[in-house]
Amino acid sequence: MRFLYYIILNFFLLINSSFSHTLVHVDQVEKEPINLQFQKNQLIKKKYNQCNKVSLLLVTASEIKNDINEIIAKYIEQLKKIINNLIKKLLMQIAYKANVAYIYKKKVKKSFFKDRKKQSIYDFMIMHHKNNYYLDECLSFLHTKIHKNRQKKAEKILEKIEEPVKNNQKLPSVIRNQLRINKDLFNVLSQQNQQMESILIQKKIVHSQIIQVRHVLNTLYEQSKWLKFSNLVGEALRTQLIHLPSPEIQKSKSIDNQLGDLHAKKLIYQNKLDHEKDILQQCFNENKDLDKNQKDTLIYQLKHRNNLLNLLIIGCDNLIIELNKLRISRHELKNILLAVKESTHRYLFWTADISPINFYYPVEVIHAFSFILSPNVFSQLYNSLLIIFSKKETLITIIISLLFIGLSLQLRKNFLLFLENTANQVGKVTQDHFYITLFTVFLSIIITAPPILLCATLGTALQRCWSYPIAVSLGEGIISTLPLLFIFMISAAFAEKNGLFLIHFQWSYNRVAHAMRYYRLIIWFIVPLIMLMVTFANFEEHQLSATLGRLCFICICGALSVVTSSFKRADIPLYLDKEGNCKNLINYFLWNVMIAIPILSAFAACIGYLETAKALLAKLEISVAIWFSLLVIYYIIRRWMLIQKRRIAFDRARQKRAEILANRSRSEEEKELLMQNADSVEIDEPIIDLDKISSQSLRLVRSILTLIALLSVIILWSDIHSAFSFLENIHLWEVQRTISNVNHVYPITLSSILITVLILFITAQLVRNMPALLELAILQHISLKPGTGYAITTLTKYFLMFIGGVIGFSFIGVEWVKLQWLVAALGVGLGFGLQEIFANFISGLIILFEKPIRIGDTVTLRNLTGSITRINTRATTIIDWDRKEIIVPNKAFITEQFINWSLSDSVTRIVLTIPAFTKESTEKITTILKKAAEMCSYVLTIPSPEVFLVDLQKGIQLFELRIYAAEIGHRMPLRHELHQLILKGFKEHNIDLPFPPTQIRTEIFHKNKKKL
């Protein structure tokens, strides 16, 4: 106990000195006001954490207060007051420092605290970590002491429980049952103590890992300024990064499961404790023949049962607290590891990690090669193989993988036979089905999977041979090559003679042959070299990475350049235009870049930037693999659409043929009548334009896949975004921003420009693809008024352009807060100077909302008549009957009067004036005109045709025939056909059309007659 007293006393003396040192540090910082708000927040945060540990230590010490002297408790109370006073004094000093620094912040030059900032914070962090270390050591010691005391207390309770059994062997069953229950509770309590010890050990391990990672992080911050002077600094820092622990997500999930179990057990123990009185009464009621001693023994057992339940509840609470602390510690470790990763990319990514190639490089390669071929390495591989084949689980997995390989070899013959049989069915409407394509893809994966499974089994087994570093490194190399191996093996299965590429996708044979020309080079050269490169990078702390690893990488770059050139000749698209064509300038440019990047990566490796070249090349190749996978998906969907298109066309042709055969069986009169009304039947039946639907659907698929590819590439490259932080050091100009009435100066860097360009590019892609996505995926399935869909897609484009522009330009200091007044002023000024342009722009918005005209409407404006084809921001395009495009300003549709022939109803009335002699019967003429209107195929029956005698002029009857056409396009065909029918009717009834009366002057004729 005296030893415990000395530990607590020394600990509080340490805390007192730590706080005093902190106050001195604050006073010193007060004279040098650097990074004011950041320093203040860090001090408060770290000291609060330290004070929380102190308070926890006080609580922990109070739990063993009965086991130590009362003097220690008095010292604890006194030191607690001292600590609280120190905390108040510290916060007052920090606040005073912040106020003084705020007053003098404009007088302090930036160069004054650039170098002192990092050193001051670094010294304080070191002191803080030391204090935390001593705090954790004291806490762990006190926790261990508490657990030992609880264990001893539980053992004493067990001895007292077993005393009645030793004294009296013949006890009633109820007492024996209670004794058994108490023993079970004691066993559970022992398991709790063991679990607590395990958690404390894990906490200690995690804490030591946190200290290690923080030390590496601080070293990285401290040594970052020396990286540009020597490559050895970067190599030493990379060596320290190798031994860092990795964040374990699965253990965090197991902690959550343990916490859930502990909460459930605590509720169970609490319920048992609440029902103890009922259990005692129930035992007495059921066992009334117990004597006094037996009743006392039963009460004694139930009393100790209550004690055990209380200890279990307390143990559950302590376990929950410690597990939460362990989870917090692991979360902290994970965050620090992420900070190390980000700092590594920031400081080491663009730093040479090895020396450039010199004249001694061949000698170093030969030495490294001799080391790999040494007996030590082969003995490690041999022993690791013995370990692998000695384990039953690994051996069974390998045997199963070999059986799958044999089965795949046997299935390959059936697979080729299936491809040959289905090749004749593909393309035939009655035999082609989409499940043939799906089954081909499935069988290709089944044929390819067994070798991948065997490699994965061997790689995983080698990674578990911890005692042999070469085996672990080789296992990591094998695992790293599995995605590439799977992609090219399944591509080879797709490229079979009657496979997916040639038959289903209808790719040309030369195209597939060019793409798969270097398949063996990839499988037997590039994949093994990648495996060896990863092995050398992870073996012997990167000692072989600068020699054999670099040689493998240079060979890989050369081979990749050759393979990429074959892909370019195969016309594999990296960019598709609006029509889905890959033959465009952007596609050629991207392929040239892909060919040049491996060469540049090899050159970078030669001058020492090996890790940088590997990371960039790997990201680039993974991006291409993602695009290739989406390209295969696109062609699979395209094939499904083509099958559906051909099937619909075939059903239409078959239906039409059935109608023709049915028509032949009818009488000649019915046939003639059907021939006359054939046009009307075709007009009434809505026919789907298959080509249009197919092109729209493919455009939608391309839009969706483009967005998916863009999102995937952004997520892929976001891991190393901090590697491009050097762009933030290239200042272009500065802008002022007002935050809480305080002006702040922010630099605009080259990184801001690139982010703006990226945002504008993404905005352009969204503006290009999102309207089609809305129209085909959502709007066409909703019943909307005509023109509403076009208005929604147009406004969506405007909204995306506005949001993208505001977000993009905000990164270069052009904010909407500043622009809104400028826009208002420009709006007033330009409103007067460019009044017509602004009027047309506003009129275009009114047209989109009010919809007086829509796409496809037929309008008459002044002496112009035509159909609306496009509504833009400033003007509307009309195509007249001569197929001429007329550009009409939007203002004309708002301020002028015009006719929209199809706004709410496309039905229009046509009035024909028909003359007849007065000698003809009026009823006869009326009947002929009505009959002609009924026989005309373009005339609507509802509203019904009408005939009126409207005038009598100079011996001529004038009739008006009023008929209705379904749409504006039927007006001229209706007039033509109806005039023909009227002439035919008049001819059948021997009625002549009267000529209009004319007056002829004969004076000249009589004069000439007299002369003769």
Structural domain contains residue 1000: no
SS3 667: coil
Q: Is 972 found in the same domain as 932?
A: yes
Confidence category of residue 92, pLDDT binned at 50, 70, 90? low
pTM: 0.62
Structural domain contains residue 418: yes
Whole-angstrom distance, CA of residue 769 vs CA of residue 348: 39
Confidence category of residue 310, pLDDT binned at 50, 70, 90? confident
| Residue owning tokens 């393979």 | 563
Q: Is 476 found in the same domain as 370?
A: yes
Task: Evaluate if residue 905 carries a pLDDT over 80.
Answer: no
* Helix axis angle, 173-223 to 276-286, nearest 10°: 160
Q: In sequence order, which residues have a C-beta less than 8 Å from that of residue 116 and are 6 or more positions away?
A: 32, 34
Q: What is the model's pLDDT at position 133? A: 57
Q: What is the CATH number of the domain that holds 884?
A: 2.30.30.60
Task: Evaluate if residue 17 carries a pLDDT over 60.
Answer: no
Residue 939 DSSP code: B
> What is the tally of structural domains in the chain?
5
Residues of the domain holding 371? 361-623
Q: Is 430 found in the same domain as 319?
A: no
Cis peptide before 375 (omega within 30 of 0): no
Q: Is 407 found in the same domain as 277?
A: no
Specify whether the CB–CB gap between 456 and 476 falls below 8 A: no
Confidence category of residue 773, pLDDT binned at 50, 70, 90? low
Q: Is 473 found in the same domain as 387?
A: yes
Whole-angstrom distance, CA of residue 259 vs CA of residue 254: 9
For residue 898, report the phi and psi dihedrals to the nearest 5 degrees.
Answer: -145, 165
Q: What is the model's pLDDT at position 116? A: 47
**Hey, how many other C-beta atoms are within 10 angstroms of the C-beta on 123?**
11
Tokens coding 466: 């911890």
Confidence category of residue 792, pLDDT binned at 50, 70, 90? confident
- In which element (H, E) is residue 650 found? helix 610-664
Structural domain contains residue 440: yes
Highest mean pLDDT among 180-189, 310-319, 662-671: 310-319
Average pLDDT (831-858) is 74
Specify whether the CB–CB gap between 890 and 849 falls below 8 A: no
503-518 in b/e form (b: 16+ CB < 10 A) is bbbebeeebbebbbbb
Structural domain contains residue 499: yes
Specify whether the CB–CB gap between 356 and 607 falls below 8 A: yes
Please say which residue of 349, 380, 399 terminates a domain. 349
Q: What is the model's pLDDT at position 478? A: 92
pLDDT in tens, 691-741: 555 566 677 777 778 878 888 888 888 777 666 666 666 777 777 766 666
- CA-based Rg of the chain, rounded to a whole angstrom? 45
pLDDT in tens, 399-414: 898 898 888 888 888 8
**Hey, how many other C-beta atoms are within 10 angstroms of the C-beta on 1009?**
9
Structural domain contains residue 963: yes
Q: Is 320 found in the same domain as 242?
A: yes
Beta-strand (E) ranges in 667-730?
none
pLDDT in tens, 351-382: 777 888 888 888 988 988 888 888 888 888 88
- Stretch among 46-60, 230-244, 274-288, 585-599 having the lowest mean pLDDT: 46-60
Q: Is 958 found in the same domain as 877?
A: no
pLDDT in tens, 218-247: 777 777 766 666 666 666 677 777 767 765
- Stretch among 308-312, 595-599, 826-830 having the lowest mean pLDDT: 826-830
**Hey, how many other C-beta atoms are within 10 angstroms of the C-beta on 827?**
10
Q: Is 344 found in the same domain as 220?
A: yes
Structural domain contains residue 423: yes
Structural domain contains residue 1012: no
Q: What is the model's pLDDT at position 806? A: 81
Q: What is the model's pLDDT at position 67? A: 44
Structural domain contains residue 49: no
Q: What is the model's pLDDT at position 332? A: 84
Report the mean per-residue pLDDT for the chain: 74
pLDDT in tens, 620-649: 999 999 988 988 998 898 888 888 777 777
Q: What is the CATH number of the domain that holds 935?
A: 3.30.70.100
Distances, alpha carbon 808 to alpha carbons 259, 294, 732, 826, in Å? 46, 85, 17, 21
Task: Evaluate if residue 1009 carries a pLDDT over 80.
Answer: no
What does the DSSP assignment read for 12-50? HHHHHHHHHHHHHHHHHHHHS--SHHHHHHHHHHHHHHH
Question: Nearest Cα to 915, choosing from 958, 946, 954?
Answer: 958
Task: Evaluate if residue 180 carries a pLDDT over 90.
Answer: no
Confidence category of residue 602, pLDDT binned at 50, 70, 90? very high
Task: Evaluate if residue 498 carries a pLDDT over 50.
Answer: yes
Task: Evaluate if residue 536 carries a pLDDT over 60.
Answer: yes
Whole-angstrom distance, CA of residue 161 vs CA of residue 178: 10
Q: Is 525 found in the same domain as 436?
A: yes
Q: Is 617 found in the same domain as 471?
A: yes
Please say which residue of 570, 603, 623 terminates a domain. 623
Q: Is 893 found in the same domain as 917?
A: no
Task: Evaluate if residue 687 carries a pLDDT over 70.
Answer: no
Average pLDDT (122-151) is 60
Please say which residue of 900, 930, 954 terminates a domain. 900
Q: Rounded to 5 degrees, what angle do the CA atoms 881, 883, 886 make?
A: 90
**Residues 323/328/333/337 CA torsion (nearest 10 deg):** 130
Q: What is the model's pLDDT at position 162? A: 63
The percent of residues above 70 in pLDDT, for the chain, comes to: 66
Q: Is 920 found in the same domain as 885?
A: no
